[in-house]
Copies of this chain bind each other. A is one copy, B any other.
Amino acid sequence: MKRAIKALVFDAYGTLFDVHSVVSLCDEVFPGHGAALSQLWRIKQLEYSWLRSLMGRYENFWHVTESALVFACKTLRLTCSPAQRGRLMRTYLALKLFPDVREALTALGDFRLAILSNGTPRMLRAAVKSSGLDGAFAHVISVDGVEVYKPSPGAYELATETLKIDKPAVGFVSSNSFDVNGAKAFGFWTCWVNRSDGYPDELGFMADLTVKDLTELADTLARSRVVVSPRKDRLR
């Protein structure tokens, strides 16, 4: 059976946008603590999204991100004023793109392109706009529509519903291994963008393709389109 991927759905934070582009501002606000704050902030942001989903106590990703920042500052013994917190939070509205993203998205233009992200619609609109990606995506989908975070199946289902597409026609692309596991368990073809050269999470669902960046994904998909059909097996 040949696989026919029609749409590519991208995770946003960590995959397109570099969440650690907050380091420099963190370091400006709290000299010498930028990397540690950025790291703990991100860890707790993800933890809180999973825990609130499990508790059945959804709050949107702006709220979750701010709660994670509050916890991270307290734990690192950094006194963070409301003004400083506001300034750090606003970095999420203008995160830097990874350097490979723009060109790869252009190369992948034959596919329908979408984002499926934990971020709120406002956060996603701002990040897409500030990075100049307006118009690159047919849909920018926020899990806020179903009030549950990835890797819940309900989050991935929002993509198939919005795109009006069957699961096997979706290629899901994420740098977050837990997200790849969730998308694969849901039924998507998956690509893990292993940006940090790490090991995949041991959650039972392997990525169909692992690449180091989106350039490699675009190259691989381009090759698979020109080769004769049996070679398409490698994309399964």
A: residues with CB less than 8 A from B are 44, 47-48, 50-57, 59, 67-68, 70-71, 74-75, 149, 151-153, 178, 181-182, 185, 198-199, 201-204
Contact = CB atoms under 8 A, between A and B. Distances in A.
A194 to B, nearest CB: 13
Residue in A67, A70, A202 with the greatest tally of chain B CB atoms within 10 Å: A202
**Among A74, A185, A204, residue most surrounded by chain B Cβ atoms (within 10 Å):** A204
Contacts of A204: 57, 59
Describe A's contact surface by its main secondary structure.
Answer: helix
B55 A50 contact: no
A50 B201 CA distance: 13
Given A51-B50, A182-B51, A56 B153 contact: yes
A124 B59 CA distance: 34
B199 A71 contact: yes
B51 A203 contact: yes
B55 A202 contact: no
Contacts of A67: 202-203
Given A57-B204, A59-B204, A51 B199 contact: no
19 contacts: A44-B201, A47-B47, A47-B50, A47-B178, A47-B201, A48-B202, A50-B50, A53-B54, A54-B54, A54-B149, A55-B153, A55-B182, A55-B185, A55-B203, A57-B185, A57-B203, A59-B204, A75-B198, A75-B199
Contacts of A48: 201-203
Nearest to A148: B54
A235 to B, nearest CB: 23
A182 B54 contact: yes
A54 B50 contact: yes
A197 B201 CA distance: 30
A202 B68 contact: yes
